[in-house]
Amino acid sequence: MTAQRQERNGLRPGFATIGLAALLMLPVGATQPAQATTTERVVVDRHSGLAIDGFDPVAYFTDHAPRRGDAEFEVASSGAIWRFANSSNRAAFAARPDIYAPQFGGYDPVGVSRGVPLQGNALVWLVSGQRLYLFSTEQDRDVFAADPERYLREARRQWPALLTTLAK
């Protein structure tokens, strides 16, 4: 491009406006940690909508082990899709989700007791007092198992306030 033509074109206002708008849309500051961005009342996979990674919540009670659920045996409850290993487990859950669903929406009760919604892991679990609890780490599970009443008392106290921070 010749010098004369460059002077004639100058700075094009359309390009400047677009560039300025793009700069204004860039995020400013540090990002929040992953645990603070969790926004569900029940822990679900954001892509599939599956609760507890597709594991059958009833199997923790009947088989005393985590078992993968099957897409053939699903039920929607509490904003999540729950999978089951068989139709009888699905029926049991549908009749009493309050019994079989992980407590605190699948969040780690040790984290909840500290006021922090840490996502539980379906493979790090414990049935205590006829309720299912999922933990973020084996260490949290072991600490909880040593004194469940202490952690449950504090988690139950913290849970209502945490619920207000989690999206419906």
Q: Where are the beta strands (DSSP E) in the chain?
A: 70-77, 80-84, 121-128, 131-135
DSSP 8-state assignment for residue 120: P
At 37 the pLDDT is 32
CB distance 135 to 120 below 8 Å: yes
pLDDT of residue 9: 54
pLDDT of residue 4: 57
Question: Tell me, what's the pLDDT at 7?
Answer: 54
pLDDT computed for residue 34 by the predictor: 29
Q: For residue 106, how many C-alpha atoms fall within 13 Å in the half-sphere facing its CB?
A: 28
pLDDT at position 166 is 83
Tell me if 122 sits within 8 A of 89, measured CB to CB: no
- Tell me which DSSP letter residue 104 carries: G
In tens digits, the chain (168 residues) has pLDDT values of 555 555 555 545 554 444 444 434 444 433 333 233 334 789 998 889 999 999 999 999 999 999 999 999 999 988 899 999 999 999 999 999 999 999 999 999 999 999 999 999 999 999 999 999 999 999 999 999 999 999 999 999 999 999 998 866
